[in-house]
Amino acid sequence: MLAAASLFAGGAKEGAGRTQLTVATVNNPDMVIMQQLSGEFTAATGIGLSFVVLPENELRQKVTEDVGLGSGKYDVVTIGTYDTPIWGKNGWLVSLEHLFAGMSAAERSSYAREDLLPTIQAALSYSDRLYALPFYGESSIMFYRKDLFAKAGITMPRKPTWQQIYDFAVRLRGMSGSYGIVLRGLPGWGEILAPFNTIVNAFGGRWFDQSWYPAFGEPAMAEAWRFYKKLLRDAGEPNPTTDGYTECLAIMQSGKAAMWYDATVSAGALEAHDSKVAGRIGYAFAPSARKGNTGWLWAWALGIESSSKHPDAAFRFLTWATDRKYITLVGTRIGWAQIPPGTRASTYSNPDYLANAPFAGIVLRSIQDADYGKPTLLPVPYRGLQYVSIPEFQSLGEAVSQQLAAYISGQESLEQALADSQAAALKVAREGGYLR
């Protein structure tokens, strides 16, 4: 991994006659590639870049603090579909509309904003204004080892159920030294709750009913909690509450797991030349239970802090990193299977990508079919598949994720964990003025 450049306060600085931007980003493989190739941007524009690379939970905490205080420590921030509309509403991000309007006709034509997938653009907008550009988009998918499935004489359906996944995981546990399945267990609303919330949706659970009364006491919610713990206990990796996205990816890449349910963007890393399972991975849609079509919708995107002193330079970096030319750069330099997926329609008609990405079709379909506005089986007043689209969810999700991890590790009973989660959600509903 490329080492992060030196950290400094104050955002963009002038030095050696050029603008210097500070970019806060997460330590995911696609962002590592962005850093490796960033010299191309500096060579073309004369704009220097300093990267602050942080784990996902820490990134959210530090960037949220910075935009809330308006201190301008970062110029460009890596944010997601949850944060962007909320921060846009709060005035923490620069609206990109006037920056697009300031582009020349040739620049607008080259960037081709209309090529960005509509579902992703909508999720990164507030009041019909775009506040961040998608670096990569994703849904969730079931990865599985084709060789282990063949060895066991079992077939993965294209649209499996969670019960089938459990049965497969138990059967495959220990085969060739592999865990039956690997899943996130690390506390954090962007960690364990990402896959787990889609299971809640699949089982018919929800966070709040239509009146914003918390629904942690509903049977479907308890069923989802029991299932997740049972799946990890009977077939998962040991000590799952220490494993977040990057840890699970490493386990799957090393060949130590038969299945992994997580972000579609991981497909490129699993097929990379340094992956021990490249060429042996199969792909299936997010599993169902009472509800089907349960994959999540997410994009890691790049936005500009309102306190940035160099929004024009920052916008040049945003458009460079999310342009079709950047995708081609990654494809030719790093490998076509590793380009940032899920952002542009043209990606899924690119013959170079399609020839190297056996997962392309299922990823596009998963993103297009993600039911962001109707995430659950029963009616709810919120949007969001792996989160609840309210500002308070960041703290509420953290609290619930701690309860879930405590239950999985045996430190808390199911009844107590659900009761504590219910109480935390009720406090949010009342203090936020949501409860009707």
pLDDT attached to residue 7: 29
SS3 state of residue 146: helix
| Burial of 351 (C-beta count, 10 Å sphere; 0-12/13-18/19+) | exposed
pLDDT attached to residue 93: 95
Mode of pairing for the β-strands spanning 48-54 and 18-26: parallel
**Longest Cα pair distance anywhere in the chain, in angstroms?**
65
Query: Rounded to an integer, what distance in angstroms lies between the CA atom of residue 195 and that of residue 141?
Result: 10
Alpha-helical segments (H) within 96-244: 97-101, 105-111, 118-123, 146-152, 162-172, 193-202, 219-235
pLDDT attached to residue 21: 97
pLDDT attached to residue 376: 96
pLDDT attached to residue 29: 86
Low-confidence ranges of the chain (pLDDT < 50): 1-16
Mode of pairing for the β-strands spanning 76-79 and 125-126: unpaired
pLDDT attached to residue 184: 98
382: tokens are 């919120």
Q: Are 80 and 132 in contact (CB under 8 A)?
A: no
Rounded to 5, what percent of the chain is helix, strand, coil? 45, 15, 40
What are the structural domains of the chain? Answer: 13-138+297-357 (3.40.190.10), 140-295+378-431 (3.40.190.10)
Share of the chain above pLDDT 90, in %: 85
pLDDT attached to residue 63: 84
What is the DSSP code string of 365-398?
Answer: HHHHH--TT--SSS--S---SSS-SSTTHHHHHH
